[in-house]
């Protein structure tokens, strides 16, 4: 979609076009719509991330919690499934899957939200190493890192969807 086409959409059309970018959180697109017109993808991305930053902690937590566990074999969204497959998470060995599942569970128990990692361009070993490292962070550090990862995921999705 061209940025000019996006700018011309009404609020509902805009949310229908971009509501999925921040996983199951169309409120981000709904709030960013008021910032139109966007001159480019960077401007759009900045507006959307600013809306998340202005959101309450409860809204931010809901956004973090809306993301699926990495490597899950449960039903997940099309975008998440494609991103995880691209990183090789759909072809883990049974031992790797069990390790990822165990670490994901420990992480979620410790922090109250799933481990988030923008997997595009990464390999499954990179993801496992990051999970092992980040599980030792403080909650405040990891909360900011989780949001940073959500922003990276959204940026990848926007750049794959919108043309300046």
Report the Cα 64 to chain-centroid distance in Å: 8
The Cα–Cα gap between 139 and 156 comes to 26
Give the bridge partners for 2, in sequence order: 163
Q: 137 an active-site residue?
A: no
Q: Which of 18, 28, 49, 67 is catalytic?
A: 67
The catalytic residue positions are 67
């Amino acid at each position: 979609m061209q940025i000019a086409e996006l700018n011309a959409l009404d609020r509902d059309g805009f949310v229908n076009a971009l509501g999925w970018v921040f996983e199951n959180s169309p409120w981000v697109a709904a709030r960013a719509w008021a910032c139109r017109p966007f001159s480019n993808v960077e401007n759009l991305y900045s507006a959307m991330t600013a809306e998340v930053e202005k959101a309450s902690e409860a809204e931010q937590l809901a956004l973090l919690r809306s993301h699926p566990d990495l490597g899950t074999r449960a039903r997940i969204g099309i975008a998440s499934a494609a991103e995880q497959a691209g990183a090789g998470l759909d072809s883990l060995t049974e031992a790797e899957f069990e390790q990822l599942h165990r670490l994901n569970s420990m992480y979620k128990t410790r922090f109250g939200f799933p481990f988030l990692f923008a997997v595009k361009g990464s390999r499954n070993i990179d993801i496992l190493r990051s999970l092992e490292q980040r599980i030792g962070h403080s909650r405040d550090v990891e909360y900011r890192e989780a949001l940073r990862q959500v922003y990276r995921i959204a940026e990848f999705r926007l750049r794959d969807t919108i043309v300046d």
